[in-house]
Amino acid sequence: MKHTYPSLATLGREIKTQTNSSAALVEECLKQVLEKNGPMNGFITVCSDEALARAEEIDAAIAQGKDPGSLAGIPIAIKDNISTKGILTTCGSKILENYVPIFDATVVQKLTAAGAIVLGKTNMDEFAMGSSTENSFFGPTRNPLDPEKIPGGSSGGSAAVVGAGMAPVALGSDTGGSIRQPAACCGVVGIKPTYGRVSRYGLVAYGSSLDQIGPITTSVEDAALLLNVICGFDEMDATSSPEPVPDFTATLNKGVEGLRIGLPREYFAQGLDETVRARVMEAVDNLKAAGAQVVDISLPHTEYAVATYYIIATAEASSNLARYDGVKFGFRAKDVSTLKEMYRETRSQGFGAEVKRRIMLGTYVLSAGYYDAYYKKAQQVRTLITEDFTKAFSQCDCIVGPAMPTMPFNIGEKANDPLAMYLSDIYTISLNLAGLPGISVPFAREGDSMPVGVQVFGRAFDEATVLAVAQAMESSANP
């Protein structure tokens, strides 16, 4: 049975008024982890002793009249590609199976400064390369709603532990849909902020022009509360934006009266599962009933998004992963006699099949004679995709569509079909290419075994509108 927690606001209020305690909440989470993590495999590392010790410190501080912060005493799960000082950070890879960072990522610094407690590190597709969390060196994660199904990826561990009630909230990362797609699979809320809104310092790089950290929660309100903490400029990240950060909770309940909701016709074309289509349209009908105006729009370069993404992302991955060579840190192959052999064997043994595939693809598209034909052309198409959104937002205030083309598939079903796997991100990838914010919200009809992820996305740095539409949708849903 799924375990549920009160909202973050309620938990925080209970802990600060001492009607509940952080220690009791952490113990409750650890009990859920003990019962569920074995078969589900959502956590790679669980920080039981450290989390309990920190919870007791926070409870003591509150008893002394101190305010430890807006997230005082609340446990949070962290995706295992986000650096945590003194805590194993593996990226789901053999090559980093024993890597312990000496620094915290900026988002972790902000969370702990606000009083949050790191509960553990969650499973993921190796180096965030995957859509099902089947590509982890530590084995696949299972969906909390159906253990035969994938939990989505690459942040499948984070979505699964929140969906199962092992943690109230989690952080994930999103390069091509890796927060929103697993949120859709696991029936939780996942938001990718605008590129640059959240610092990437301490996020192990996959595609540096695409990666973004964001929350995975059980409600839109909780996502807004977490965004309030983790957003903001960071001088440690050259791509961090100085754009002012509003209080995202302040406009959550403003409603959708008068808002123009764009429906991209390309997102409802052939290939969309009928159950997904029906639930998305029911969600849209509810927004119309709440006063929104629905507008037909076009994103004509959507058909090129997957190809464009897998050229740009793999090219950046090829560059970013060149550092894993067995010299300075991470796994090093044994019984080698030359430097060249050490490089070859370390990378051959240390990386899994999907990571090797993407490194080879990326190296190829950057190679002499092919750069202009592939990488340069992909960057040009990326510009066209971005311009599609600019034109669309001249006609509407936000866009609504499916987060995934199908319901979650069975574990192993697409493991030997990379193209079919890549196409499961067709509705999420464009947003990363354009750097825009997007959220997946679960929507279901009573009796549905699994909710459908409905995606809302908006203009750059307009998370407030995205969250308000998502909140209106959530209040009308029945997940």
Q: Which one from 36, 79, 110, 149 is the annotated catalytic residue? A: 79
Alpha carbon distance 440, 178 (integer Å): 11
Of 136, 155, 178, 318, which one is the catalytic site residue? 178
- Give the whole-angstrom CA distance, residue 223 versus residue 114: 15
Residues 103-123, buried b or exposed e (16+ Cβ, 10 A)? ebbbbbbbbbebbbbbbbbbb
110 catalytically annotated: no
Residue 152 contacts residue 181 (beta carbons within 8 Å): yes
Side-chain-side CA neighbours of 447 within 13 Å: the count stands at 0
Count of beta carbons in the 10 Å neighbourhood of residue 348: 10
Q: Active-site residue 377, yes or no? A: no
Report the alpha-carbon distance of residue 81 to residue 226 in Å, rounded: 18
Q: Given the residues 154, 219, 240, 440, select the one marked as catalytic.
A: 154
Q: How many C-beta atoms lie closer than 10 Å to residue 275's C-beta?
A: 14
Whether 94 sits among the annotated catalytic residues: the reply is no
Distance, in Å, from the CA atom of 82 to the CA atom of 172, rounded to the nearest integer, reads 8
Query: Closest by alpha carbon to 40, among 145, 173, 190?
Result: 145
State the catalytic residues.
79, 154, 178
